[in-house]
Amino acid sequence: MAEKAGDVSAVNCKEGALTSKHGHQLFCKYWKSKANDKPKHLIFISHGFGEHCQRYNDFAMTLVQNNNFVFSHDHVGHGKSEGDRVHVTNFSIYVDDVINHIEMVKKEHPGIPCFMFGHSMGGLITILTTLRAPDLFSGIILSGPGIVPNKEAATPFKIFLAKVTATLLPHYEIATISSEVICRNKNVVKNYEEDPLVWHGGIKAKWCCCIMAAMAEIRKRFKEIKVPYLLLHGSADQICSIEGSEMMHANTSSEDKTFKIYESCYHEVIWEIDGQGEQAVSDIVDWINKR
């Protein structure tokens, strides 16, 4: 079972900055045990759309207290990182930044297995990164990954609108995500709504086209995925359809793969109520510890 984050004084939290190959200053965060200089694993956290890496502070603390070195950055255009807010011209930009950061940390910690945790958009980025650099990881953990959008949110009209406006009005906001559907945990929703680093605007036309293209790409390349993975999804996720996770799990070539469904849970399973969030985190830690 996972040791819960308790004594935060035992964790050394450090902030930093990284200049991406595209010229953006990225805000970085590192969580390391003060008592152990030789972690068992390296774990990179890839956050979702509109949020930022420091939302995962408690989760990172738990991972550290289970003998892991955890690191992350705010994706370009998110949180404290530079770039137009929630806007890219291609998802390969996110992937470039992730690979660069992970390779830097791996050089500083040679011989230590590396894992990547990705939530929502971050899960999609994790899959794209795995396809680009399959030897980078000993395993990946996907939480509500963006593989198939929720059909009620991504209606044919909204997709058509995004394609029409993406070139002339790339920053035009075509849709919004209700904070009420991210999690059943009311405290999580409240903190999300009051967080100044969270993007509270809408989904932009060009970004929408980019994520749809990225989703289409990975759906064509499921067979190329061979890395060990743990796939988590809430059965009541209204943002990223569970259909995408089911499709992925049925078609990947990975010999070591696990798919867990959390009944009645919304999008952010690691913070869910009724003990399910704690169970999801424990499942993650236990899965990593066995590899």
- The residues that are catalytic are 120, 237, 267
Query: Distance of alpha carbon 42 from its chain centroid, rounded?
Result: 16
**Closest among 144, 141, 142, 145 to 287, alpha carbons compared:** 141
Cβ atoms within 10 Å, residue 181:
17
Instruction: Write the CA distances from 100 to 94, 97, 117, 131, 218, integer angstroms.
Output: 10, 5, 16, 15, 21
What is the C-alpha end-to-end distance of the chain, expressed in Å? 15
Q: ∠ at Cα 171 (118, 130), nearest 5°?
A: 25
